[in-house]
Structure 1
Amino acid sequence: MLLSSKSVPRTSKRGLIVTTVLSSVVFCLYAAPVWGAAVNVRGNLTRLQSLHRRTLLAVMCGYRAVSYDAACLLGSAPPVELKLKERMKRYEGMRKRDAMEARRNSWKMKWTTPGTVIGSGG
Structure 2
Amino acid sequence: MKKNMIMVALLLGMAGSLSACSSTVAPQINPVPYYTYYPASLATVVSATERALPAAGMRFTGTKTVNAQTVELRGYTAGGDAILITLHGLGASVTKFDARIGLYGHLRDVQDIEHWVGKYVGEAISAPAN
Pick the structure with more strand per residue.
2
Q: Indicate whether the TM-score tops 0.5.
A: no
TM-score of the two chains, using structure 1 as the length reference: 0.30
Pick the structure with more helix per residue.
1
TM-score of the two chains, using structure 2 as the length reference: 0.29
